[in-house]
Amino acid sequence: MPRKTAPAQEELGKPCQFCAIIAGQLSAHVVFEDDISIAFLDHRPLFPGHSLLVTRHHYATLLDIPELLIGPLFSNVQLLAGTVQRVMQADGTFIGANNVVSQSVPHFHVHIVPRRRGDGLRGFFWPRRKMTDEELKLVQKSLVDALRK
């Protein structure tokens, strides 16, 4: 089954904003960088300290990233989450990544958002649904069967 990925912004007729930041063509408030990733403050943060960690190479989605980079990339997520939480004196962090749907820039990125109890954000920001045990078992079977292949 072919992977569904977000179109590169170049395909949409505009350059990738994150690639422009990485190339130094757009300014950003960089907080971290290494050989595989760069992190900068979100220009429209949910809260102060809200950072984006992006891959240096243009990968549209998580599914496009080579497996060998996943571990090092998420080690950087872990490092940033701890640092943001400590420096911003937050109770915790929200870590999130959109994959195609709601991905405003089609260049893989992880949001690291400092959180405090009572900060006004609710759960995953969207309504949760109730599922019967039978429905859960059906979904479970589908996923387990697919992962075994």
In a domain, 42, yes or no: yes
Distance from C-alpha of 12 to C-alpha of 82, rounded to nearest angstrom: 36
Report pLDDT digits (tens) over 64-114.
999 999 999 999 999 999 999 999 999 999 999 887 766 678 899 999 999
Into how many domains does the chain fold?
1
Judge whether 112 and 95 are in contact, CB under 8 Å: yes
- Helix or strand or coil: residue 49? coil
Give which of 47, 31, 28 is closest to 39, Cα–Cα.
31
DSSP 8-state class, residue 37: E
Query: Which tokens is 133 given?
Result: 């045990």
Higher pLDDT, 1 or 92: 92
On whether residue 1 sits in a domain, the answer given is no
Q: Name the residue range of residue 64's domain.
A: 17-148
pLDDT for the residue 130? 86
Question: Residue 59 belongs to a domain with what CATH number?
Answer: 3.30.428.10
- Highest average pLDDT, of 14-23, 68-77, 91-100, 123-132, comes from 68-77
Judged against a pLDDT cut of 50, whether residue 57 lies above it is answered with yes
4 in a domain, yes or no? no
Q: Does residue 3 surpass a pLDDT of 60?
A: no
Contacts of 149 (CB under 8 A, 6+ apart): none
Q: Which residues contact 73 (CB under 8 A, 6 or more apart)?
A: 36, 37, 53, 55, 65
Tell me if 68 sits within 8 A of 35, measured CB to CB: no
pLDDT of residue 9: 46
